[in-house]
């Protein structure tokens, strides 16, 4: 750990020596070095991280404007675990540790680009994608949501049985298109309708027997 970062840590606990660096012998410094570690801020307006570190931010935050994080050490080794993640460089890494080892933050869990969703997999897509499948509920691919629409109005019925101005608007909402045009009105189901009694049943029955 360099002297500057150690200075910041020791200022907080009043442990500076006359030379402006660590007081006490080498053994004392080594014993407490972990306690003195203060992560450097990084991101907009902050300094860059050392070469063996990277600017770590929350998952998905790398796509947010002005995201800030803290400098974190890059792992030297990672376990051989297959749990793909999509890095903020839109590259797929075997797991989050491997992404960190490359100095890359995680955009979302799962492989980058199209990957399977819906159908028998039951998998859903990240918030930035929608499941493109036909017919609705079939096995499909995760496709990025549109960031803007051209304003062309051609109403469609989404797989959520809601009417949208266009397929682009439906995809922006994360919904695949079922058919063109407005969604049909909910059909009248006799079993769900209130029971209708025949007219004569409303007239009181009179017993005419002697």
Average pLDDT along the chain: 75
pLDDT at 198 over 60: no
Calpha distance 124→137 (Å, rounded): 11
Calpha distance 111→91 (Å, rounded): 8
Q: Which domains does the chain possess? A: 1-38 (no CATH), 41-112 (3.30.60.30), 125-180 (3.30.60)
pLDDT at 192 over 50: yes
Q: Report the pLDDT averaged over residues 157-182.
A: 94
Query: Considering only CA atoms, which of 85, 1, 84, 66 is closest in space to residue 35?
Result: 1
Residues 6+ apart with CB under 8 A from 165: 153, 154, 155
Taking the model in full, what pTM does it have?
Answer: 0.44
- Position 61 scores a pLDDT of 86
Count of Cβ atoms closer than 10 Å to residue 36 Cβ: 18
């Amino acid at each position: 750990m360099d002297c500057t970062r150690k200075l910041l840590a020791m200022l907080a606990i009043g442990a500076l020596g006359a030379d402006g660096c660590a007081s006490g012998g080498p053994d004392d410094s080594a014993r407490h070095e972990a306690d003195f570690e203060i992560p450097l801020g990084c991101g907009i307006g902050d300094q860059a991280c050392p070469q063996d570190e990277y600017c770590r931010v929350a998952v998905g935050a790398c796509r947010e404007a002005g995201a800030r994080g803290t400098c974190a050490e890059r792992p030297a080794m990672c376990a051989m675990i297959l749990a793909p993640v999509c890095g903020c460089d839109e590259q797929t890494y075997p797991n989050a540790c491997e992404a960190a080892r490359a100095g890359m933050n995680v955009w979302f869990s799962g492989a980058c680009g199209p990957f399977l969703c819906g159908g028998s997999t039951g998998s859903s897509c990240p918030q930035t994608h929608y499941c493109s499948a036909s017919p609705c509920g079939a096995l499909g691919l995760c496709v990025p949501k549109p960031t803007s629409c051209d304003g062309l109005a051609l109403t469609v019925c989404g797989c959520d049985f809601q009417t949208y101005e266009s397929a682009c608007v439906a995809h922006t909402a994360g919904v695949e298109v079922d058919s063109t045009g407005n969604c049909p009105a909910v059909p009248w189901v006799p079993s769900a309708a209130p029971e209708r009694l025949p007219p004569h049943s409303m007239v009181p029955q009179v017993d005419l027997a002697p």
